[in-house]
Amino acid sequence: MPAIYRASFGYLRRHPWQLGLAVLGICIGVAVMVAVDLANQSSRKAFLLSMDTLNGQATHQIIAGPGGVDERIYTRLRVEKGFRSVAPIVAGYVLAGETSLQLMGVDVFAEREFRNYTAPRDFNNDLAGTRDTGRPEQMVRRFLTGAGSVLLPAKIASGLNLEEGDKFDLVINGKVYPATFAGSLALNDQQEINNLAVTDIANAQYWLGMQGRLSRIDVRITPRTDYQLESIRQALPPGTEILSAAGRTQTTAEMSDAFMTNLTAMSLLAMLVGVFLIYNSVAFAVLQRRDLIGVLRALGVTRRQTFQMILMEAAVIGALGSALGLVAGLWLGDKLLVLVARTLSDHYFAVNVTNISVSAPSVVKGFIAGLGATMIAATVPALEASSYQPRLALTRSTLELRAGQLVPLLGIVGLGLIGLASLMLYLSESSLGIGLGALFVLILGFAFCIPVSVRWISIALTPIAGRVAGTAGRLAIGGVSKTLSRTGVAIVALAIAVSATIGVSVMVESFRTSVSTWLGNTLQSDIYVGVPRGSLDPELLPELTALPGIVAFSTSRRAWIESATGRTRIIAIQMAPGSYAGTSIRDGDPEEVWRQFDEASGVLVSDSYAYRHSVKSGDVVTLNTKNGPVEMAIAAVYQSYDSNEGAIMMSRHTYDQVFDDPEIDSIGLYLEEGVSTDAIMDQLRDVSSGRQSLIMNSNARIRDISLGIFDRTFVITNVLYWLAIGVAIIGILGSMLALQLERAKEFGVLRAIGMTPGQTGVLVTLQSAFIGFLAGLAAIPLGLVMAWVLIVVINRRAFGWQIDIAISIESIFVAMLLAVGAAMLGGIYPSWHAARARPALAMREE
């Protein structure tokens, strides 16, 4: 290695703490980025794989409204029209013990072309996809003829202690049905669909209460049979559609795009803090070697060679940090996967994934991002180093003079960036990507303004500090403005991380307050009764609502309707008298709105729906009903945090007019005053006992469960911003360490003229605390603006939520404590180091 690089790396070797902290900082930044990417990708991949398995060779699917597809359509297509590549499917959810399974009812004879786990290769002898248990013939026979025969993945079967031919119970719609384990499904583990149960279609229809109806009809169109598509379409009755299978999968997967984009943005925040940290480390490394660089330049090292030398160091730090970050990212990704998958399952689609799948692009992207961020961060200090004149040492005062001249310019650039961010937000309308881009520009803008603010505050507070804490106070507080070239970046890095905590916590708190208020208004019934993933037994319903003590009830049905443009959530409500006030109307006279809702088939659309589809009261929505497309007037937009896809709410009466779906998911019961909730629940249990297993919850319990899900959703957000704080603390530690090393001679002199080790330690601690205080102070306006952008721009664009901003003094106080605490934590070792400084040695080293 050339001597010039040996000199450079020798420096890094002699400052292992600084090197280690810089590497750790970039390592965490890369780890967070890679982890989020891998968790997102793995969840998405698992979902797509499971859909691939379920869809098999189906290219299209015939679907209808919430009531499903009339099975006569299948017969007509296959028998009358002669389309052979069609297969009927009945799907739903069942419980085996404590395990929730996705039940798929299939017609084995029609399956041949579609899925390999049920289609027979040699129909007389085997089921192609079933594991050869030695008695394939019996298994096939049992599957086809045995009432309640079910194929399960081997893992599930062994979890339930089932041997082939064993009987077991399935709980469906709150009712218990006997089933027989007919054999193991030969599922490839990578297919990520280990919760699948396959049964004959007749069983499924009986169990799921779908006699005469199908969930969908799978269709296989090949280039050779492309012409059939139009014929099939023409053979379908109104309200029944044929859609691309891949398109349906894609549409479902895209529901989570905004969530994943926001996670990625959070991970980039950690990386941004990391960039400041790297800038800080490299800038320090350059500053500390200004004499050495001066000598090298005097010996004939060119500007370019100096620039290359610094960049080479950064490349080594970046490569090392990124490589470690990849390893840490795999570990962290595994942990985050659980949180991501849980949130996806809570809000978007069932995803069953246990292992992270490492994709080369994610790894390469993470490494390049880490290395690239380091190189970019190092460019400014490298340019600074190459600008050093080949003379002996720029004096420290010259450096500070230079920094002092630069600080106001940075402030002006910062204001310009804030203006640019505002313009981006104003002009970008509904683009989430530009919204997030604007947020990052805004952060940078504020970051550039921080040093000038710090200087003013420090200058203003120095005399006060002198009066309060004497010379040590004056030195500590005044020192910050006099060493801005070194303290400035550390303060910026901490301020960004702390502002993120303010921004995110204010956003989450505002969101939670809005949701909590909304739940308080919406949940008006005393008791809610429902069935997990199913609907109430219609025979049971009159008995439940007729119990003494119940004065009124409401009913609810939630269903999806699909079209080529995507899925729409429909909520059919039969309101109890006097319960209308629980729904907050955004844009209309409630009296008139409810009249339209009840009498004129008017529908209400949620905030999210209105935002996503750019509609308001007075507009119309077109729904694909049993009678074909029907235009329905929007009576109003209503407040809802129910689904970020948005929902259309209609009266039960209207719903029954347009859909063939008599099901009711849940009822809300209103009790007479003074009647005990527990007593009514006991009676409900008595009535339903042995007929249907019901879930009953009080108003307060539903509220707790809902807020529990809300809090769970933001666990991953909290994890990510704590990691960003971690990076910032590392930055502060590095900065304080470097600053104190830099000031070794100053401390040596102070010690030499009589300052005790304790006083020196206090000086450094005071300065650390002050740096934290300044960072906290700077973080407040940035954090609040960030919260505003997150609430009004990002959340609105990503999820369509309309959230009322609620700022609590507590979150700001906590952020300030965090800033001071982090800085003081970062200052512990440096203050110990400074206190231990031996005056003679320190002065000689300098």
Note the residues at the interface with other proteins (CB under 8 A). Answer: 2-4, 6-11, 13-14, 291-292, 294-303, 389-392
Alpha-carbon span 799 to 796, nearest angstrom: 6
Q: How far is the CB of 727 from other proteins (least distance, A)?
A: 28
- Between 403 and 779, CB nearer to other proteins: 403
Quick check: 160 and 129 in contact, CB under 8 A? no
- Between 190 and 397, CB nearer to other proteins: 397
- Between 79 and 299, CB nearer to other proteins: 299
Q: How far is the CB of 8 from other proteins (least distance, A)?
A: 8
- Between 297 and 486, CB nearer to other proteins: 297
According to DSSP, the residues that pair with 102 across neighbouring strands are: 93, 196
- Between 22 and 489, CB nearer to other proteins: 22
E strands, 474-576, in order: 527-530, 550-563, 566-574
Query: How is 703-763 classified by DSSP, letter by letter?
Result: HHHHHHHHHHHTHHHHHHHHHHHHHHHHHHHHHHHHHHHHTHHHHHHHHHTT--HHHHHHH
Which residues, in sequence order, are CB contacts of 136 under 8 Å at separation 6+?
Answer: 125, 126, 127, 130
Structure tokens at 669: 């019961």
Q: How far is the CB of 387 from other proteins (least distance, A)?
A: 10
Q: How far is the CB of 745 from other proteins (least distance, A)?
A: 14
- Between 291 and 810, CB nearer to other proteins: 291
Q: Roughly what angle, to the nearest 10 degrees, separates helices 484-522 and 809-836?
A: 150
Q: How far is the CB of 3 from other proteins (least distance, A)?
A: 4
Q: How far is the CB of 14 from other proteins (least distance, A)?
A: 6
**Which of 453, 378, 384, 381 lies closest to 415 in space, CA to CA?**
453
According to DSSP, the residues that pair with 130 across neighbouring strands are: 185
- Between 294 and 821, CB nearer to other proteins: 294
Owner of token pair 């029944």:
240
Residue 173 CB coordination number (10 Å): 22
Q: How far is the CB of 301 from other proteins (least distance, A)?
A: 6
Using the CB atoms, write b or e for 399-426: b if 16+ within 10 Å.
bbeebbebbeebbeebeebbeebbebbe
- Between 5 and 829, CB nearer to other proteins: 5
Residue 660 carries which DSSP code? -
Which residues, in sequence order, are CB contacts of 39 under 8 Å at separation 6+?
Answer: 263, 333, 336, 337, 339, 340, 341, 356
Alpha-carbon span 534 to 228, nearest angstrom: 35
Distances (CA, A) of 774 to 451, 484, 736, 812: 10, 12, 14, 14
Residue 360 carries which DSSP code? H
**Which of 375, 382, 480, 353 lies closest to 49 in space, CA to CA?**
353
Q: How far is the CB of 775 from other proteins (least distance, A)?
A: 32
Q: How far is the CB of 386 from other proteins (least distance, A)?
A: 11
Q: How far is the CB of 478 from other proteins (least distance, A)?
A: 21
Q: How far is the CB of 296 from other proteins (least distance, A)?
A: 7
Q: Is 182 helix (H, G, I), strand (E, B) or coil?
A: strand
According to DSSP, the residues that pair with 647 across neighbouring strands are: 569
- Between 14 and 224, CB nearer to other proteins: 14
Alpha-carbon span 642 to 601, nearest angstrom: 22
- Between 6 and 72, CB nearer to other proteins: 6
Q: How far is the CB of 23 from other proteins (least distance, A)?
A: 18
* Strand pairing category for 175-185 and 149-153: parallel
- Between 201 and 301, CB nearer to other proteins: 301
- Between 9 and 560, CB nearer to other proteins: 9
